[in-house]
Amino acid sequence: MNCREVRQLVDGYVDGELDLVRSVEVENHLADCGACHQALDSCKSLSHAIRAADLRYEAPRGLENRVLASVRNESRAQNAQDRKRPAIRFSFALGMAAVALVALLAWGALHLSVRPGAPNSLVQEAVTSHVRSLQASHLFDVASTDQHTVKPWFLGKLDYSPPVVDLADKGFPLTGGRLDYLDGRPVAALVYHRRLHVINLFVWPVQENGDALTGGPVTASIHGYHVTHWSRGGMVFYAVSDVNNADLELFTREVTERIGP
DSSP of 101-151: HHHHHHHHHHT-----S-TTHHHHHHHHHHHHHHHTT---SEE-S-HHHHH
CB 178 within 8 A of CB 202: no
**In contact, 236 and 229? CB cutoff 8 Å:** yes
Q: What is the pLDDT of residue 54?
A: 55
Residue 139 shares a structural domain with residue 235: yes
Mark whether 133 and 159 lie in a shared domain: yes
Cα 211 from Cα 74, distance rounded (Å): 48
What is d(CA 176, CA 145) in angstroms, rounded to the nearest whole number?
Answer: 6
Which of 33, 52, 71 is at the close of a domain? 52
User: Where do runs of H (alpha helix) occur along the chain?
Assistant: 3-14, 20-30, 34-52, 63-82, 89-110, 121-135, 147-153, 245-259
In angstroms, the CA 2 to CA 182 distance is 26
Is 104 in the same domain as 158?
no
pTM tops 0.95: no
Model pLDDT, residue 81 = 67
The domain total for the chain is 3
Residues of the chain with pLDDT under 50: 87-88, 103-119
In a domain, 115, yes or no: no
Beta strands in 144-244 (DSSP E): 174-182, 185-194, 197-205, 218-222, 225-232, 235-241
Residues 29 and 73 in one domain: no
Q: Residue 250: phi, psi to the nearest 5?
A: -65, -45
Establish if 116 belongs to a structural domain. Answer: no
Same-domain status, 138 and 240: yes
Q: Are residues 80 and 204 in the same domain?
A: no
Tell whether 149 is covered by a domain. Answer: yes
One domain, residues 241 and 129: yes
Give the residue numbers spanning the domain of 102. 63-110
pLDDT digits (tens, 9 = 90+) for 50-103: 666 555 556 666 777 777 788 778 777 777 666 655 544 555 555 665 555 554
Within a domain: residue 212?
A: yes
Given this model, what pLDDT does residue 215 score?
52
Q: Are 166 and 174 in contact (CB under 8 A)?
A: yes
The residue among 72, 89, 110 that closes a domain is: 110
Q: Are 137 and 176 in a shared domain?
A: yes
pLDDT of 117? 35
Indicate whether 129 and 184 sit together in one domain.
yes
- Asked whether 135 and 77 are in contact (CB, 8 A), the reply is no
Same domain, 251 and 131: yes
Does 104 lie in the same domain as 31? no
**What CATH number does residue 182 fall under?**
3.30.200.100
Residues 15 and 138 in one domain: no
